[in-house]
Amino acid sequence: MNRMQMIDTAHLNALRDRIYNIRFAGNWKLLFGSIGYNLYIARQLIKVWGRGNEMLHTDKSGFTKALLMDHALSDEEWFAVQFSNYVKDTREDMLACMAICFFHWAGRKQLDLSGISKSLRKDYSLAKDFIGKLSFNEDINFAFSVFFNRKVSSLQEKVESSLICLFLLAEKHNIDLLWHIDKRLEYAECKGALRKLPVNFNTRCRNRL
């Protein structure tokens, strides 16, 4: 059994509802209608196409170790700072943000995602060989060509297909997408704590050259 078939997709509707009920700040304020969702997706795609394979990977072990270090901040502040240092804006985080966008959209429209598991197993064998030959930029383009395909008129089908593609790309790049989604949601809930820190506090101490 391949890793993609082992992903637990039984609780995707619960994840959909959790994402939809979180109050996001910043760019997420745009997520109130179809135009807003499309604008957000377009901006994310531009970021990926602009940076492509130069995008950094998440230092997952460094992030985990940093969370265990002694600190004088609150747990929420410390989590937000270390997420910014080790996870935020990496290619893994980018995929998670895109997935969250589609989950949020599904929550707004109350789309049933329970059928994704079956489709995921079916589409895996069809797409695996194809995406295996693509670069990261081309992977993203492939994933969203499905969404922007005018022949597919159903929003349900577009959202499901886009999420399936993101899971496939995560599998290809050895990314635990559900873990990254969970950490991005936790960051969204803790992000407000950063406003309490001094203006000159360095939340970007990790070398990102």
Rounded CA-CA distance 47/57 in Å is 15
Residues of the chain with pLDDT under 50: 1-6, 30, 203-209
Reduced to 3 states (helix: H, G, I; strand: E, B; else coil), residue 153 is coil
Read off the pLDDT of residues 110-126 as tens digits, 9 standing for 90 and up: 999 987 766 565 555 66
For Cα atoms 180, 102, 47, give the angle at the middle one, nearest 5 degrees.
70
Instruction: Kindly report, residue by residue over 30-40, the tens digit of the pLDDT.
Output: 455 667 777 77
Report which residue type is found at 46: I
Task: Supply the pTM of this predicted model.
Answer: 0.81
Helices 12-21 and 91-109: crossing angle, nearest 10°? 90
Considering only CA atoms, give the Rg of the chain.
17
CA distances from 102 to 73, 98, 127, 164 (A): 33, 7, 20, 11
